[in-house]
């Protein structure tokens, strides 16, 4: 028979006491293991063995499962807005369990949370409920770009969305380099503007978007900071100008925090 700690580890590092008792481990043996330090009681009736990620530990202690932006961020996907604490799915009608140092963000969505964390598809659906269509769209494209969503997964997510939101997955692409590109394309789509995406221009290279003779580049900090990279951007812009294009560049702060100015600049350039 497997030891108690091995059994818990084989169940993902977290197990319910009732499930362990069905496997033959008594309540007294669980109590001894907790006192001995080989097993940790995360909350009443839930036990852990081995290292547990801090956010997962907090979510379980809070009474639910890690979800939403917390799961997506752990996968290094593009998530808006910033996380202020672990997002926890408690399920409808369930009570939270505040714990020492608790900064959890509770979600009372329908269904039964698993132990630990939810899967990627559930996290994306919860993100839409939590942060809205734009956040969902950017994270969905990021997950697709990073190879986490095959055709079947995208279809399942689309089916799980309300009918009024399914157009978001229909508009999505798998080649968006950043969430900034996703946000800009979505917002311009809502204005009725159709962009060509990831366009190769001879002598310039691949640019983010083209509308008529206007190039739009969205510059994330990681890809465009520093003197050398700035010089490269200027060289590209000059090459584009020689070919009759006007280039507009926007950074994270502009797209996320000053969208009205970005929109006005784009519309003025197109009008010109």
CATH number of the domain that residue 254 is part of: 3.40.960.10
For residues 203 and 113, state if they share a domain: no
- DSSP letter for each residue of 200-225: EETTTEEEEEEETTEEEEEE-HHHH-
For residues 184 and 101, state if they share a domain: no
For residues 199 and 105, state if they share a domain: no
* Structural domain boundaries, residue 45: 4-75+87-121
Calculate the alpha carbon distances from 126 to 121, 139, 179 in Å.
9, 11, 18
Q: Which residue has the tokens 């399920």?
A: 91
Tokens of 116: 């630990």
Q: Give the model confidence (pLDDT) of 45-85 as tens digits.
A: 999 998 999 999 999 999 999 999 999 999 999 999 889 99
For residues 110 and 17, state if they share a domain: yes
Q: Which of 179, 168, 105 is nearest to 139 (CA)?
A: 179
For residues 217 and 112, state if they share a domain: no
**Separation CA 152–CA 67 (nearest Å):** 21
Residue 201 lies in a domain: yes
> Average pLDDT, whole number, for the chain?
93
**The predicted structure's pLDDT at residue 229:** 76
Average pLDDT over residues 11-18: 94
Residue 166 lies in a domain: no
Q: Give the count of domains, the chain.
A: 2
**The predicted structure's pLDDT at residue 98:** 87
Count of alpha carbons within 13 angstroms of residue 61, beta-carbon side: 18
**The predicted structure's pLDDT at residue 93:** 83
**The predicted structure's pLDDT at residue 224:** 47
Partners of 206 in beta bridges: 200
Residue 128 lies in a domain: no
With a CB cutoff of 8 Å and minimum separation 6, the contacts of 229 are 223
Average pLDDT over residues 134-160: 98
Tokens of 97: 């369990």
For residues 184 and 103, state if they share a domain: no
Q: Give the model confidence (pLDDT) of 151-188 as tens digits.
A: 999 999 999 999 999 999 999 999 988 999 999 999 99
Tokens of 124: 């994306």
């Amino acid at each position: 028979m497997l030891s108690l700690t091995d059994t818990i580890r084989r169940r993902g590092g977290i197990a319910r006491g009732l499930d362990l008792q069905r496997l033959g481990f008594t309540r007294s043996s669980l109590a001894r293991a907790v006192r001995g330090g080989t097993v940790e009681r995360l909350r009443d009736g839930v036990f852990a063995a081995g290292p547990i990620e801090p956010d997962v530990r907090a979510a379980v202690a809070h009474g639910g499962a890690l979800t939403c932006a917390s799961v997506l961020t752990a996968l290094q996907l593009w998530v808006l807005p910033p996380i202020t604490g672990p997002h926890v799915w408690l399920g409808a009608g369930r009570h939270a369990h505040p714990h020492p140092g608790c900064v959890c963000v509770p979600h009372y969505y329908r269904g039964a949370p698993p132990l630990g964390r939810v899967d990627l598809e559930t996290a994306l659906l919860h993100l839409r409920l939590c942060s809205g269509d734009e956040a969902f769209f950017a994270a969905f494209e990021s997950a697709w770009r990073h190879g986490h969503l095959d055709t079947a997964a995208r279809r399942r997510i689309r089916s799980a969305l309300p009918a009024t939101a399914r157009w978001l997955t229909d508009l999505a692409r798998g080649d968006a380099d950043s969430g900034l590109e996703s946000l800009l394309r979505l917002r311009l789509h809502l204005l009725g503007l159709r962009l060509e995406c990831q366009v190769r221009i001879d002598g310039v290279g691949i640019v983010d978007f083209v509308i008529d003779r206007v190039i739009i580049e969205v510059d994330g900090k990681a890809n465009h900071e520093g003197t050398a990279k700035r010089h490269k951007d200027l060289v590209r812009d000059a090459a584009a100008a020689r070919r009759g294009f006007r280039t507009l560049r926007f950074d994270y702060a502009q797209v996320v925090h000053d969208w009205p100015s970005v929109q006005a600049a784009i519309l003025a350039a197109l009008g010109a």
